[in-house]
Amino acid sequence: MYGIKNAIVLSLSVSLILSMTSCALQKSETDSQATATQSTSAATTGVNQTVEQLVSENIHVNQIGYFSSDKKIAVINGQYSSFNVVDATNNKVVLTKNLDGKVKDDSSGDTVCYADFSEITSAGQYYISIPELGKSYTFKIGDKSIYTGIADGMLKALYLQRCGIELDSNHAGEYTHGACHKSMAKIYGSDDKEIDVSGGWHDAGDYGRYVVPAAVTAADLLMAYEFYPNSFTDNTNIPESSNNIPDILDEAKYGIDWMLKMQDKLSGGVYHKVTAMGFPDMTLMPDIDVDDMYVMPISTTATADFAAVTAMAARIYKDINSGFSNSCLNASLKAWTWLENNSKFVEFKNPSDILTGEYGDNSGSDEIAWAAAELFRTTGEKKYGDYFVKNFHSNGFGLGWQNVSGYAAIAYMFCDSDKIDLKKSEEIRKSWIEKADMFVDTAKKDGYFLAMHKLEYTWGSNMNVANHAKHLLVADRLSNNEEYTETAKNAAHYLMGRNTLSQCYITGFGSKQVMQPHHRPSLGDTVKQPVPGLVVGGPNSTLDDSVSKSKLSGLAPAKCYIDDMSSYGTNEVATYWNSPAIFVFGYLNQQR
């Protein structure tokens, strides 16, 4: 990934399926839906035969669908009087209602109205029709299984990002490649010292592997399992499937196993990243990338994030894989010792001849607080709790790679130790709820019901969308509130197409699909469709690449997206954009 690792992700205090067979089924279904949007049977009842035969991208729906019992609203760009809900199997109108509202949306510049069809609860396929405008893409109404494919697809996409192993056709379908980046890596600045750091995930559209974002990715997976264990199965067709361990834990372990290799065995410090000196050509497949790999120096942020996520793993795998749990705890304690012995912040900056992502930071205070909170929650040892209470401040609750204070807060608030500082816990809880309320207020003012301020459409804005939803779902655990869950659901609707561009932002899904992600395997292989299940960055009003500058200049923030492989500022992918969306869909699928 190009600039995201060098940029600060703004966050104001004011997102493949069970198997490649099912992927083919999803593609077939999508194709049939797309065909249905091009023509309507002459047997259509009560529907205009001209304008209404045409799909209008000004009718914005969740292109996957809605739960039968949930609130179901389409957002219409423009002012019209009434709408129809049409059964897509026979083109018969099943509901006619007036459109509501006249709302100016600051983020998109749209003036919108709303089609509320919540009373439709019968399972089936439908579309919205407006006589003067056209019809929407087709969507489903159904039970709690309607998001199973997309949720499993996002998790399966992490398997397809794995480094160091062959992706075979039994598990990867068409998206195969040989084992990659298996050679020993050179420790940068040493006298030709080499170590084995094979494994992990290709972080984004490039082939670098970085501890800081990998720790956040793994933490999201572990937290999703802790919150919604019934949402995750053992049958997403990865190599570890059918081992009686949920595949989400197998995937997290794959990432953590690599991180364990990144720890210096002598000091306990953790190397920041392993990459080549620069980015490979865009069409180069990972197993063809044979440039020398370099391990970059130890940093405070990498070591602290490592200590935090391995402490989490020690707790979560204790009764699942005791050997792995013990290894993680020992590694976490050793990393903490390094932090104690290196109290002065050790910053990572790219050397002048290294051009790959930096993931830099100017402070490690939030990372160390996260490590302390997780070690306290796992071990109950007073010294970690004391450090946390003394050094943690409730001032923003970041849930991204550069600010991990939200992870620290969650670890402490949900700690069941009798040694917890109740005053500190209540202080954090109150601040967390206040921010959740702010997100709800923001969503109420947004034309698309989204908890996003227009200034938050920056690099990786879809991460902001998913992380805000994650914050709201944690708040719901703290203070049961339907407004929190409804606002989180609206984030999912946005990612699945109910947005100003009618764009489904998850590859391989929806009617209007992302086809040209900034993702080397998707460009370098011979498969027409991109690797499925990847959440792309989304609208980015800072226009960080030349394509954005030339094609999107002057557009409203929420419209600053283009499906172009060269637009790394809007259309790249990242594991830590998938992981918070996996958490959100874990909530949606908890009754699967």
Q: What whole-number percentage of the chain has pLDDT above 90?
A: 88
If asked whether residues 222 and 307 sit together in one domain, one would say: yes
For range 463-491, the mean pLDDT: 97
For range 529-539, the mean pLDDT: 98
If asked whether residues 261 and 179 sit together in one domain, one would say: yes
Sequence-distant (≥ 6) Cβ neighbours of residue 141 within 8 angstroms:
65, 66, 67, 68, 72, 120, 121, 122, 123, 124, 125, 126
CB 514 within 8 A of CB 563: yes
If asked whether residues 237 and 277 sit together in one domain, one would say: yes
What's the pLDDT at 36? 36
What's the pLDDT at 395? 76
Q: Round the average pLDDT of the chain to a whole number and report it.
A: 91
pTM of the predicted model as reported, rounded to 2 decimal places? 0.91
- Integer Rg of the chain from CA: 24
- pLDDT beyond 90 at 22: no
The two counts, helices (H) then strands (E), for the chain are 17, 15
**Domain presence at residue 471:** no
What's the pLDDT at 396? 82
CATH number assigned to the domain comprising residue 70: 2.60.40.10
- pLDDT beyond 80 at 12: no
- pLDDT beyond 70 at 122: yes
- pLDDT beyond 90 at 521: yes
**Of 411, 427, 443, which one is at a domain's C-terminal end?**
427
If asked whether residues 154 and 293 sit together in one domain, one would say: yes
Please write the tens of the pLDDT for every residue from 353-380: 999 999 999 999 999 999 999 999 999 9
Reading phi first (left if > 0) and then psi (alpha if -120 to 50, else beta), residue 136 is in: beta
More confident of the two residues 32 and 174: 174
If asked whether residues 285 and 385 sit together in one domain, one would say: yes
What's the pLDDT at 418? 83
Enter the DSSP assignment of 317: T
CB 169 within 8 A of CB 161: no
Please write the tens of the pLDDT for every residue from 45-57: 444 455 667 999 9
Can you give the residue range of the structural domain that contains 333?
146-427
**Of 137, 163, 180, which one is at a domain's C-terminal end?**
137
- pLDDT beyond 90 at 262: yes
Confidence band for 15, pLDDT divided at 50, 70 and 90: very low
CB atoms within 10 A of CB 331: 23
**Domain presence at residue 523:** no
If asked whether residues 240 and 117 sit together in one domain, one would say: no
**Of 379, 407, 427, which one is at a domain's C-terminal end?**
427
- pLDDT beyond 50 at 27: no
For range 482-491, the mean pLDDT: 98
Looking at the structure of the chain, the number of domains it has is 2
What's the pLDDT at 322? 97
Helix or strand holding residue 237 (H, E): none
**Domain presence at residue 567:** no
Confidence band for 194, pLDDT divided at 50, 70 and 90: very high
If asked whether residues 278 and 344 sit together in one domain, one would say: yes
Range name among 1-10, 264-273, 292-301, 418-427 with the lowest pLDDT average: 1-10
**Domain presence at residue 401:** yes
More confident of the two residues 236 and 8: 236
Please write the tens of the pLDDT for every residue from 55-69: 999 999 999 999 999
Confidence band for 4, pLDDT divided at 50, 70 and 90: very low
CA dist 334 and 317 (Å) reads: 19
Confidence band for 163, pLDDT divided at 50, 70 and 90: very high
If asked whether residues 287 and 323 sit together in one domain, one would say: yes
For range 205-228, the mean pLDDT: 97
Q: What is the 3-state secondary structure (H, E, C) of 43-105?
A: CCECCCCCHHHCECCCEECCCCEEECCCCCEEEEECCCCEEEEEECCCCEEEEEEECEEEEEC
Confidence band for 18, pLDDT divided at 50, 70 and 90: very low
CA dist 453 and 445 (Å) reads: 9
CB 83 within 8 A of CB 100: no
CA dist 141 and 145 (Å) reads: 10
If asked whether residues 166 and 130 sit together in one domain, one would say: no
CATH number assigned to the domain comprising residue 345: 1.50.10.10
If asked whether residues 194 and 110 sit together in one domain, one would say: no
**Domain presence at residue 17:** no
Please write the tens of the pLDDT for every residue from 416-474: 878 899 999 999 999 999 999 999 999 999 999 999 999 999 999 999 999 999 999 99
Confidence band for 37, pLDDT divided at 50, 70 and 90: very low
More confident of the two residues 144 and 267: 267
What's the pLDDT at 158? 98
CA dist 51 and 317 (Å) reads: 57
**Domain presence at residue 470:** no
If asked whether residues 109 and 173 sit together in one domain, one would say: no
Confidence band for 591, pLDDT divided at 50, 70 and 90: low
- pLDDT beyond 90 at 568: yes
Active site residues: 563, 572
Range name among 1-5, 181-185, 266-270, 459-463 with the lowest pLDDT average: 1-5
- pLDDT beyond 70 at 44: no
If asked whether residues 177 and 99 sit together in one domain, one would say: no
Sequence-distant (≥ 6) Cβ neighbours of residue 67 within 8 angstroms:
141, 142, 143, 144, 146
**Domain presence at residue 269:** yes
Phi, psi of 416 (to 5 degrees): -100, 15
The structure tokens listed for 478 are 């703290």
DSSP E strands: which ranges in 176-225?
Answer: 185-187, 194-195, 209-210
**Domain presence at residue 25:** no
Please write the tens of the pLDDT for every residue from 309-354: 999 999 999 999 999 999 999 999 999 999 999 999 999 999 999 9
